[in-house]
Amino acid sequence: MSDVFRQRILRCQEEMREKGFDYMFLTPDSEMYYLSGFEKELHDRHFFMVISADSEPFFFVPSVYRQELEENTGIQNFKEWERDQDPVEELEKLLRVKEDSSILFSEEMSAKFVLDIFELFPEADYSLASHVLQGLRITKDEDEIEKIRSSSKIVDEVVEEIRGMEEEIVGKKEDELAEIIEEKMFEKGAEKTSFNTIASSGQNGAKPHYEHGGKTIEAGEPVVLDFGCYIDHYPSDQTRTLVFGNEPSGKFKEVHEIVRKAQQTAVEKVEPGVTAKEVDRAARKIIEEAGYGEEFIHRTGHGVGLEIHEPPFINQENSQELEEGMVFSVEPGIYIEGEFGVRIEDLVVVTGDGSERLNRTDRTWRC
């Protein structure tokens, strides 16, 4: 096992002991990957990584997976079950669960497996593995940050190429533009998209969660472009609002500058010790003072790591203090129903004395 995963497991066990948890059951998902380096699609067979607070972790898996695990993780402790065995009975033999034991589950675990363990140990207390792992995952090490930086570099390059297409974009459908964006990301080495690409033009841009459709992009109308990709398990996420072919309306120019200023002000607020809600407030205050407070209808940002949305969440209620190594988006927006929307988004990492933007492209609307 690499030293990174070994250290993560040791920190996890230490947290479990401090918080009084005895066992953690992980299913194939980002939490299992974080502690073992093993990633696989979820399936319908009993396949767990079991972390004990005071003994070596082990994989409880169908025997046919042993070789794959040995090749993809450093963990050598396997508990296998065969096709002709009852996996629940075999699992019961391996655990020393007391009536007052506390057990953690992966958030992605199938209800079927949760109920199996409930049936085995009905007197135990149960909670989510995130009670321990969230605190470990919320700050990123240098390797994790570098991977997010690499995926961010791809989206930076793609948005610059889209700017350069200028007149070619006018007359295309939103669907076509989204496809072009994704093709360019894959050409540059993206493994998969971070989420469904957003290419929303004109009135559609006023719908924050609209993705793309059959609408034709017209000259001079705003287009909200929000997209990202994964590199080596870590994603990027960037938004730019661009105008192709003609000058936009004066109202749009005014609104875009308000959002740009709000985003810049919020980024400048980021440093260790500042709370998440203070960053949100920095952006929201600019927009409210400009008279568009009712049109800023979502949080200012979200954490990014193995998941595209994870803590810390940059919203009005979160009093968590920022720490060096946290990575999150800063993405204020204004959405004027029936007209247009504007959003500008960068990922930032909290540094020892401030922050670093992981996206570096022009934030203006011009192509």
Amino acid present at 180: I
| Predicted local confidence at residue 1, as pLDDT | 57
**Could you tell me where in the chain the CATH 3.40.350.10 domains are found?**
3-137
CATH number for the segment(s) 3-137: 3.40.350.10
**Domain 142-357 in CATH 3.90.230.10:** yes
In DSSP terms, 102 is beta-bridged to: 125
Beta carbons of 251 and 222 less than 8 angstroms apart:
no
Packing angle between helix 174-187 and helix 142-165, nearest 10 degrees?
Answer: 130
Report which DSSP code applies to 317: S
| Predicted local confidence at residue 326, as pLDDT | 98
C-alpha radius of gyration, the chain, whole number? 23
**Could you tell me where in the chain the CATH 3.90.230.10 domains are found?**
142-357
For the chain, how far is it from start to end, CA to CA, in angstroms? 48
Rounded average pLDDT per 10-residue block, the chain, 367 residues? 88 97 94 91 86 92 86 81 90 81 92 91 93 97 98 98 94 98 98 98 97 98 98 98 97 98 98 98 98 98 97 98 98 98 98 97 96
| Predicted local confidence at residue 66, as pLDDT | 84
| Distance from C-alpha of 35 to C-alpha of 31, rounded to nearest angstrom | 7
pTM here is 0.94
| Distance from C-alpha of 182 to C-alpha of 176, rounded to nearest angstrom | 10
Report which DSSP code applies to 64: G
Task: Using the Cα atoms of residue 15, residue 29, residue 355 and residue 2 in order, give the sign of their dihedral.
Answer: positive
Beta carbons of 187 and 147 less than 8 angstroms apart:
no
